Amino acid sequence: MAEILQLIIYGIVLGSIITLGAIGVSMIFGILRFAHFAHGDIMTLGAYLALIGVGPLSLPMLGVFPLAVVATGLIAAGIDRLIYRHLRSSSPIIMLISSVGTALMLRSLIQLIWGPDNKIYTQGISMPYTYADLQIKPEQITIVLGTVALVTLLHLFLHQTRMGKAMRAMSDNMNLARISGINTERVIFWAWIIAAGLGAAGGIFLGIDTRLNPIMGWRLLLPVFAAAILGGIGSYYGAILGGIVIGISQELSTLFISPAYKPAIAFGIMVLMLIFRPTGIMGGQK
C-alpha cells in the first residue's frame, strides 16, 4: 500500500510537469489549430535558459525562474513571427511539419551551446521528508506547489482579463471572435507567451527533479500530447486532469511492467482515448 501511495506521489510530481506542457499544447491547438511539435523543445529551452542564471551567474532559482519563463515566451513569439506567421494561410498540417523543423533547430542550438551531456542546476542531494514510509523531496513539493500557483494564475488570467476572455473566445470560434473586433495577432502573441512560458516552467521543474539534457523535452512530448488529448484538446482544465492521470499512470505502471516502458503507458492511454472518445474527457475539439 505504501508503495502505491509513494508512486502516486511521484506520479503527481511528474503529472505536474506534464500538465504545464499539455496546457500549452492545448492552447496553441485551440487558437492556431495545429499540433505544436516543438513544444517539448521549448520546454528544454526554458530549462537551459534558467541554467544560465543559476549556473554561470549563480543567481537564486527564485529570481531566475520568472526571467527564464518570460524569455522563453518571447523567443516562442519570435519564432512565430519569423516562421509560423508566414504559414497561417496554409493548412494546419503544414504548420505541424514546420514545427518539427523548429524542434530540430531548437534542439541543435541547445546542443551546440551547452553540449550533449547531462547538466544539473545545483550540486548535492537534498534529504527527503519522510512520513510513515512515504518520502518526498523538498524540490518535489516546490514543483507541485509551483504548478498549482501557475495554474491558478492562468485561471485568473483567462477569466478576469480582457485578453484572457479574447483568448477563450478565439479558441471557441475563430470567425466570431474576428468579427467582434478581437485583434487576432495580439491574441496569438499572448498565447505564445503563456503556452511557451508554462512550458518553460515545466522544463525547469523537470530539470530540478532530474537532470537537463538536450532531448529531455522531446522525450516528454508524447506524454504531453497524450495528456492534452486525454483532457480534450483545446480544454485547459482537461489538460490539467490529463497531465495528472498520465503522470500517475506512468508511475503506477512500474508495479507491473519494466520502468523502461513508462512512455508506452502514455501512448496506450492515448490510443484507447482516440478509439473510444476522441473528444477527450472534457469534450474539447475533435
Partner 1 sequence: MELAGLLNYIVFFLTVAGIYAVLVLGLNIQWGFTGQINIGVAAFFAVGAYTSAILTTAPSPDHLGGFGLPFLAGALAAMAIAAALGLFVALITVNLRGDYLAIASIGIAEIVRLILKNEEWLTNGVRGIPAIPDPLSGLVQGSHPALFLLIVLIAVGLVYFAVERLFRSPWVRVLRAIRANEEAVMASGKNVTRFRVEAFLLGSAIMGLGGALYAHFTSFISPSAFEPMYGTFLVWVMLIAGGSGNNRGALLGTFVIWLVWTGTEMFTSQAPEEWITRISAIRIFLIGLILEIILILRPQGLLPERPPRTPEADEKRRSGSSAE
101 contributes a contact to partner 1 by CB under 8 A? yes
118 contributes a contact to partner 1 by CB under 8 A? no
For residue 238, the number of C-alpha atoms closer than 13 Å in the C-beta half-sphere is: 22
Contacting residue, 61, 74, 97, 136, with partner 1 by CB under 8 A: 97
279 contributes a contact to partner 1 by CB under 8 A? no
Q: Which is nearer to partner 1, 55 or 92 (CB)?
A: 92
81 contributes a contact to partner 1 by CB under 8 A? no
Q: Which is nearer to partner 1, 86 or 159 (CB)?
A: 86
120 contributes a contact to partner 1 by CB under 8 A? no
**Phi and psi, residue 129, nearest 5°:** -75, 140
Which three cell numbers mark 60? 537564486
107 contributes a contact to partner 1 by CB under 8 A? yes
Please count the residues of this chain forming the interface with partner 1, following the rule CB under 8 A.
Answer: 45
Contact pattern for partner 1 over residues 26 through 65, marking x by CB under 8 A: ---x----xx-x----------------------------
270 contributes a contact to partner 1 by CB under 8 A? yes
Q: Which residues bind partner 1 (CB under 8 A)?
A: 29, 34-35, 37, 83, 86-87, 90, 92-94, 96-98, 100-105, 107-109, 111-112, 115-116, 221-222, 225-226, 229, 258, 260-261, 263-264, 266-267, 270-271, 274-275, 278, 286
